[in-house]
A and B are shown apart, each in its own frame.
Chain A
Amino acid sequence: MGKSESFERNFNRLFAVFEEDGFIVQNPTNEAYSDSRTDCEASIAGSLSSKMKITKTLKPIIYRKDNANVQLLQKAVVIVEKT
């Protein structure tokens, strides 16, 4: 088995442990960005536009699911550019 394959396996395993504990991890790269997205802390590169997109994610969004409630635990740190 290749090194990268086993890395992926171990990484997925870690991910699954988080999910079992009720954590939801989301990578928002390529998603549309607007000023109402309070789940991200954005740095805007280039000029502003009405259509912005997340081009880089330095830290993902993490939610915690506790019974039926969802709580934002960690905001993403992202870089946003116009599309």
Chain B
Amino acid sequence: MKSVNFGIDLGTTNSLIAKYENGKAVVYKNPVGLKETLASVVAYRPERMLVGDKAREYLTKDPVNVFGGFKRKMGTDEKYYVVNIDENVTPVELSSIILKELKKFVPPTEPMEAAVITIPASFDSMQSNATLKAGQEAGFKDVFLLQEPVAACLAFFNETSAKENPAGYWLVYDLGGGTFDVALVKASDEELKIVDHEGNNFLGGMDLDFAIIDSIIVPAIIRQTGIENFNEELRVKYGKFETLYYQVMYYAEEAKKELSQVSDTVIEFSATLDGKAYDFYIPVTRKDLDNIFAPLISETIALLNKVMERNKLSAADINQLVLVGGSTYVPQVREQLAAQTGITLNYAIDPSTAVAVGAAFYAAGKYYEPAVSIGLENDGPLPEITGLPEGITAAVADVDIAISYNRSSRDSEEILLITCTGEYDKKQYRIIRKDGGFDTGLTVLKAKKTEFLPLIPGMANLFTLHVYNETGDEIHSLTNEIAITQGMFNIDGQPLPHDICIEVDDLENKTTKLEVIFERNTLLPQKRTLYREISKTIKKGSADTIIINIIEGDKNSRPSSNLGIGCIEINGKALQSDLVKGSDIEIQIQLDDSRVLSTAVFLVMTQQEFKNVFSLSEKKINISRLKEQYAQLENELGYTIRNFQNNNDDVWEIKASALMAELHTVKEKLFKLKEKDKSDEKYVIAEKITRISQEYDKLGGNERIASLLEEYFTGKDRVQEVINGADFEKDELRKQFQKLEQSETSFINSKNVSVVEGKMRQLEDLYHRALGSTTSFLITVFIEYKTYTREEFKDHNAAKSVIKMADEALQKERYPEFRRHVFSISSLVKSARYNSNIDFKGTGIG
């Protein structure tokens, strides 16, 4: 025996499916569009069948082929004639189509052989049996029925603390999109029974929207336009204001939702009426809605009172009023219910999923006999199935499907050709785009069939093709995945051979880094606007500059290893006012088909725009930035050489030293160059620096990266140890450490030496900070300082007095104070341990 676990709310307007799992009920989402609800509407469109929201769109326009609300007709002999298929369908068949669609919400790995399906309290045996039949037609071996108010109560009892004391009467108030039901439920120990119920099949949330249109929107439009008979005209099917009608329906619903949260809102829209354009601005308050909704809500309360009177109950006899249905979110409903009934309201459960959730809870306690015993329940290996007639495998593979399509496209849609051979008659297929934005619906298979698949621009679009047999079960062996890439890797377009990046400041490491603008292989033309902040203040009239340096190359490498393809400099003399650090800068970058680069820079603070167009043949070099790049490369090379020496990597050391020597050959020339130098010298030097930088990146190859990573991870463990033992700022240090850890995947993947080395320097900094936050270390340092001679301090007298204060703090165990003093002493020591590059200027873009 197996527990049923699946619960289905088969509603008049919407349906849902939920599953009980590990003590909780989970509501499944539609893989198409990811909504929990499925509109209970079926549309027979030419050659295909649609189920759900898409079908609902055609409900009023194509009533001979589209059917909704058939739940009300369950158990009658009513048949619907479908023009498009020239056949009759029954409410049971339509319901089974909804149930089959709901089954598709559940991943195919979870077998579904039985389910609990909910029915209204008012359903008679005929209607109940019809629902059972629909369940069986949908392929459920066992179907259990459950009344909706009971399901709502179950959800309520199981998800709130009410289960502690359930005995007595409960009222379930269910106000949905189009229907209203109220049920009186009697609970005793572990049992729930419907005592009485009332309902109105044509009263729901939609009527509240209509009330907003009638009482607020229409009068406002008439006031502004003076159109006579506007109200009557608005509702005419195919009338001249039909577009506006759908528009105001949407705005009315939005206003209703918004006013559930805030006290006032504005309905704002433009429309052309009788050839004249209007802008409408209609303020609405929650108070306005109080009066408008009152008659509708009173109608529901009258039905509720009828149930109470019939059963001779007063408010005091009812435990609580449980609210179900999306429309019970409306505050006026809650307020008026509380005021007019005097019963405690309970809206602890999600009113839109409560019935499905309750059904799932009920399903957890129901059991069925599975068709094939499931492997998990057997301890031993699965029994081998033998002796099957040969026809069984043939039934799956009796149809061959070939699909052909282009794997890449520059169009907004791509054609797919399906060719079938074999027994494809009466089989159906369905193509769904994985993000949920496209669904062909169930479509009849033919020998040849074409589908136009819409594509989201600039990315890989994934589709799945599913094939179903006559009974609507999926033939898994024919499922196919289709990937079509839009806007990339196409022979027609010109892909970028390298990343195009902008050089921005990395203030933390006092260097610059690359930020990708257009990634390698993107198709030209491309346009993008970057929004960044100015990273240093630039005074009007000063010589300080902002440098917008556009670079072509590898996004993971050091800026100096790449080719500069465009550069804009904005100095203080060009500014209309001071440019303050942190103010916004907008950089628009455009690369056209022939790779001509245009940039436009807008400084928000001074409201100035700077434009420049570069062609790739023209280089522009900023000399002071070049000097800075030189210094950085020299620094990094020096650091690497020292590392190689420490690790006895002789071969690499020789190579790195050779690079350093080569770099030094341009030093003198470079530092003599004036900003306005007209000669070719700067290009020659820039070229050389780029080449050395590239060679430095490659030095040691993968082996060096591997050894660096090893060093990084050993260092990391050591840093963590020190942080754990730190006495000050532990949280802050841990945060920094985590930040570094989070960036690990990206810098390891970069496979770039300078990136890894940069991270190692950050790690080293963190190590020193952590040491400086450890009392025992500070004491060691302090003892060392005390042995220093007069000459080793910048100001010996000051040092002496601070040492005295530190001694005192240490004796009295005032450690934070002691730490401050040690820091002060260290700043008085002549040779600072770590001399950072304070004069870093960078690009000015953060």
Across the interface, do A61 and B242 meet the contact criterion of CB distance under 8 Å? no
Is residue B61 within 8 Å, beta carbon to beta carbon, of the partner chain?
A: yes
**B242 near A46 (CB under 8 angstroms)?**
yes
Q: Mark A5-34, 1 if CB is under 8 A from B, else 0.
A: 000010011001100000010100001000
Q: Which residues of A contact B249 (CB under 8 A)?
A: 43
Tell me, in angstroms, the Cα distance from A77 to B248 when the chains sit together.
12
Q: Is the CB of B529 within 8 A of A16?
A: yes
Known: A38-B436, A45-B243, A71-B436. 12 other contacts (CB 8 A): A1-B607, A9-B586, A13-B586, A37-B54, A38-B32, A38-B439, A45-B246, A46-B238, A48-B62, A58-B247, A71-B34, A79-B247
Complex: how many Å from CA A55 to CA B531? 33
B192 vs chain A, min Cβ distance (A): 37
CB distance from A5 to the nearest CB of B (A): 11
Residues of A with C-beta under 8 A to B438: 36-39
A55 and B437 contact, CB distance less than 8 A: no
Chain B neighbourhood of A69, CB < 8 A: 434-435
Point out the residues of chain B lying under 8 angstroms from A55, CB to CB. Answer: 243
Q: Are A44 and B58 in contact (CB under 8 A)?
A: yes
- Give every chain B residue within 8 A of A58 (Cβ-Cβ): 247, 250-251
Q: B304 an interface residue at 8 Å Cβ cutoff?
A: no
Contact at A35–B459, with CB atoms within 8 Å? no
Q: List which B415-447 residues lie within 8 A (CB) of chain A.
A: 434-441
B283 within 8 A of A: no
Give 22 A-B contacts (CB < 8 Å), ordered by A residue: A12-B529, A13-B531, A13-B586, A16-B531, A35-B48, A37-B454, A38-B54, A39-B438, A41-B53, A47-B61, A48-B58, A48-B62, A56-B243, A58-B247, A58-B250, A68-B459, A70-B434, A70-B459, A72-B435, A72-B436, A75-B33, A79-B246
Is A63 in contact with B242, judged by CB distance below 8 angstroms? no
- Give CA–CA (A16, B459) in the complex, Å: 18
Residues A77 and B250 in contact in the complex (CB < 8 Å), given A36-B438, A36-B441:
yes
Q: Which of B45, B57, B437 lies at the interface centre, i.e. has the most chain A CB atoms within 10 A of its CB? A: B437
A interface footprint on B25-46 (CB within 8 Å = 1, 0 otherwise): 0000000111000000001010
Instruction: Please give the distance in Å from A12's CB to the nearest CB on chain B.
Output: 7
Cβ-defined contact, B456 with A24, below 8 A: yes
- Our count of residue pairs bridging A and B at CB distance below 8 angstroms stands at 97
Which residues from A are CB-within-8-Å of B54? 35-38
Q: Is B50 an interface residue (CB 8 A)?
A: yes
Residues of A within 8 A of B62 (CB): 48
B460: Cβ under 8 A from any A Cβ? yes
Which chain A positions have C-beta within 8 A of B607? 1
Residue total for A at the interface (Cβ-Cβ under 8 A)? 37
**What 5 A-B pairs are tightest by C-beta distance, nearest first?**
A43-B246, A39-B437, A45-B243, A72-B436, A45-B242
Q: What is the bound-complex CA distance between A20 and B53, given in angstroms?
A: 31
* Closest Cβ–Cβ distance, residue A30 to chain B (whole Å): 12
Interface members, chain B 62-114 (any A CB < 8 Å): 62
CA distance A79 to B372 in the complex (A): 49
Within B106-127, the residues touching A (CB, 8 Å) are none
Chain B residues positioned under 8 Å from A75 (CB to CB) = 33
Give chain A interface residues in 67-83, CB to chain B under 8 Å.
Answer: 68-72, 75, 77, 79, 81
A7–B412 CA distance with the chains assembled, in angstroms: 30
Query: A61 contacts which chain B residues (CB < 8 A)?
Result: 437
Interface centre among A35, A44, A79 (most CB of B within 10 A): A35
List, in ascending order, chain A residues with CB within 8 A of B53's CB.
38, 41
B459 to chain A: which residues have CB within 8 Å?
65, 68, 70
A56 to chain B minimum Cβ distance, whole angstroms, is: 7
Least Cβ distance of B769 to chain A in Å? Answer: 31
From B243, B456, B586, give the contact of A63 (CB < 8 A): B456
Are the CB atoms of A38 and B437 closer together than 8 Å?
yes
**In the bound complex, CA of A72 to CA of B461 (Å):** 12
B33: nearest residue on chain A (CB-CB)? Answer: A38
Given contacts A12-B529, A72-B34, contact A36 B440 (CB under 8 A): yes
Residues of A within 8 A of B461 (CB): 70
Closest residue on chain A to residue B56 by CB atoms: A41
- Bound Cα distance A37, B438 (Å): 5
Inter-subunit contact B439/A44 (CB<8 Å): no
Taken together as a complex, chains A and B put the C-alpha atoms of A19 and B745 apart, in Å, by 23
Shortest B204–chain A CB gap in Å is: 18
Q: Which residues of B contact A39 (CB under 8 A)?
A: 436-438
Q: Roughly how many angstroms separate A55 CA and B708 CA in the complex, as a whole number?
A: 59
Q: Mark B13-33, 1 if CB is under 8 A from A, else 0.
A: 000000000000000000011
How far is B167's CA from A12's CA once the two chains are assembled, in angstroms? 59
A15 to B321 CA separation, bound complex (whole angstroms): 45
Which residues on A sit within 8 Å (CB–CB) of B439? 36, 38
Find chain A residues with CB under 8 A from B441 CB: 35-36
Given the complex of chains A and B, what is the CA–CA distance between A23 and B712 in angstroms? 35
Are B61 and A72 neighbours in the complex by a CB distance under 8 Å?
no
* Chain B residues positioned under 8 Å from A70 (CB to CB): 434-435, 456, 459, 461
